[in-house]
Structures are given as structure tokens and as C-alpha cells.
Amino acid sequence: MQKVKPYSLNIKGRLVEIDRPQVMGILNVTPDSFFSDSRSFDVDAISQRVATMLTEGVDMIDIGAYSSRPGAGEVSPQEEMQRLERGMEVVRKVAPSILVSVDTFRADVARYAVETLGVDMVNDISAGLLDENMVATIAQLKVPYIAMHMRGTPTTMSDLTQYNNVTADVMRELSQRINEFTLAGINDIIIDPGFGFAKTTEQNYELLQNLELFHELGYPLLVGVSRKSMIYRALGVTPDDALNGTTVVNTIALQAGASILRVHDVKQAVEAVKIMMLTNK
């Protein structure tokens, strides 16, 4: 069992020390997320979603306004910003001090979210590969950067699953991105292996089995498997019925030393962290 190493995040000049696994709650201010219960599109729904996550013990919130699921509708940068503005206005009213990351691959949206809306971190599914300006933007903003492994785009990724060795190849490709980030002056990096993005079900479970190896990259590890197809297809269920499987996979990730769990279901993830902390004393 791998213990989580303490780490710190520089949040706009404020050093935040983190000494246990964090639960990041997903807030989708979009009408077309793959999991229907995570969609919070109007103000009342957003407010209720945030309040519920707070009650359940969430540590940080990841707000997204552009679904990355295959087949999701196109969203313009202007619409993405407008949705984020509506969402962040509610978040800061309900939870003024909670850490918030913005889930976007667009540099202009990231800048707007940080500088205008007060977001604390940027969560990019493409690790800077979908917008050539993202890396320089993050370096200028000086906020923590969550970099996920993906090949291609959400539309093309399912055709890009050819690996010699999925664990070694994903680690190598993330390492290449990390080198670019550090050269640009990005200091606070969190890595995400990208479960479900340009990986087959079998490859996802191979990554899960080898998750501890990702600590060799030297950065905190975020795991996002919540209700994904690697779980519901393996069990022959729907995303709505994949909570139990998600909790099992999250527990395996915690055993491998995951620093952050990105989840739809906060209560169950918080309980998993509490139990794991008791066994890691």
C-alpha cells in the first residue's frame, strides 16, 4: 500500500499544505454531461449541488462547462465563459473559500476563469495539446495545473489506443509534457493518467494495476474514474448503476497513493478516504 506524500499548492501566493487525499467534486454547468445526475445547469440546481457536496465533505470543486464525452455538442468559448460565470457566481456565494479548478482545454477560458471569476486551478484534459497557448498562459497565471493524458480529441481518441506498453507509454508522454511545463516556468503540477481517454477497457485496468509507478514522475496524482465506461461496461450496467464499482476503483487508487479523487459522488469518496486513513496510521 502506497501512502500519499504530503504536498503543497501555491494558490495565488497562498501556500496550501495538503497531507491527506483530497476529494474533488464534479460540478458540470452543462446540459450534456454523460452522467445525468451531475448536470447542474440553472442557478437553483447549481446551488443545491454545491451545498450537498459541502455537506458531504468535499475538499475542492472542479467546474466544467464543456462536456468532453464523445458526441457532446460543440460549445463556443463565449458560451463556455458565460456558463462558468453563472456557475462560479453561485459557488462563491455558497462556498466562498473552497478551492475551485476549472475544467477547460482553452487558454482564453482558463485566463478568464482565473483572472475574472477567481478560479484557483486549471484542469486540462489535453495537458496543453489542444491549445498552443495554454502552457504559456498557465505559466503567466501562476496557478496549479492539472495535466491529463489524452491522445487526439474526445472525438478521435477512441481510434488512438495503440500502445507498445500502455503504462510505460502514458508515463513517457506525460513526462514529455512535464518537461515542457517546467521549462515554461510552471511549478505546481498535478498529473492525471486519463482513465477512459484514448484507452481501451483492458488498458484502463492495466493502468490501474500499475498506478503506483506514476509516482516516479514526482508529482501529485489525480484519479478520475467516476462512473466511467471502464466500470459500467465491465459490470454490464449503466452509469447510473456504477457507484459501487466506482467506490471499489477509487479505493484501489487510494491504495496506490492517489492524492486527489475526482468524483460525482462525494459522500462515498469521503468515506473511502476516511477508512483508508485509518489503515494508514
The pLDDT value recorded for residue 40 is 57
Q: Which domains occur in the chain, in start order?
A: 7-279 (3.20.20.20)
pLDDT tens digits, one per residue of 76-130: 999 999 999 999 999 999 999 999 999 999 999 999 999 999 999 999 999 999 9
pTM: 0.94
- Say what angle helices 243-255 and 201-209 make with each other, to 10 degrees: 40
The pLDDT value recorded for residue 35 is 45
Enumerate residue ranges in the chain where pLDDT < 70: 1-2, 32-41, 68-73
The pLDDT value recorded for residue 78 is 95
Residues recognised as catalytic: 228, 262
CA dihedral 128, 104, 102, 163 (to 10 degrees): -60
The pLDDT value recorded for residue 34 is 47
- Angle, vertex CA 158, rays to CA 154 and CA 159, nearest 5: 120
